[in-house]
């Protein structure tokens, strides 16, 4: 028996994958066009993981609601990033503190992670974020206000813009 479990589920926005240890969520994917693409994004670890859809029902509902435009807080979802470097963990934790509907530049993230002169390293931490939604890297932007990266390709940048616009509307409505 393995201590890793996973699920891949379809949403109206694409297929989403989740991988977890007993300590918490280790990896999530952005919506992918196919199950195979999701499997690839989850990585080789799922070969040793057990598929347990029931374990992820609450998280699945949260992700689906979030992608549908609802105000969802992922702050209570336990994550397992113990195998990451101290800086990655610090940057990811700092990113989790950015309120929905707000953005922060990479320089702020670097400072919040304890390395104020390392905005490029903060950018790399966001590029290595393996927990989209739970670590809301879409809220981190360039200092000139441009969106910066978000996965690869134009459709990912459009998703980042859509998520930021959605969160801004939700916050303005409250």
Catalytic residue positions, numbered = 137
Q: Are the CB atoms for 67 and 21 separated by under 8 Å?
A: no
Q: What is the CA radius of gyration of the chain?
A: 16
Q: How far apart are the first and last CA of the chain?
A: 46
Burial 87-121 (b: 16+ CB within 10 A, else e): bbbbbbebbbebebbebbbbbbbbbbbebeebbeb
Q: What is the largest CA-CA distance in the chain?
A: 49
Strands 25-28 and 14-20: antiparallel
Q: Which of 63, 29, 21, 69 is nearest to 45 (CA)?
A: 21
CA distance linking residue 96 with residue 39, whole number of Å: 25
């Amino acid at each position: 028996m393995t201590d890793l479990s996973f699920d891949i589920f379809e949403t109206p926005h694409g297929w989403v994958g989740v991988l977890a240890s007993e300590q918490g969520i280790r990896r999530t994917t952005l919506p992918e066009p196919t199950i195979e693409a999701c499997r690839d994004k989850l990585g080789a670890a799922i070969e040793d993981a057990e598929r347990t859809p029931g374990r992820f029902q609450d998280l699945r509902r949260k992700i689906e609601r979030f992608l549908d435009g609802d105000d969802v807080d992922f702050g209570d979802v336990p994550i397992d990033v113990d195998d990451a470097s101290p800086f990655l963990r610090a940057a990811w934790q700092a990113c989790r503190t950015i309120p929905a509907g707000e953005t922060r530049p990479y320089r702020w993230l670097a400072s919040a992670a304890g390395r104020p002169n390392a905005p490029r390293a903060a950018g790399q931490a966001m590029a290595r974020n393996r927990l989209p939604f739970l670590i809301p890297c879409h809220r981190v932007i360039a200092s000139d206000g441009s969106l910066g990266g978000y996965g690869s390709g134009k459709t990912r940048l459009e998703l980042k813009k859509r998520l930021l616009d959605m969160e801004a509307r939700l916050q303005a409505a409250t």
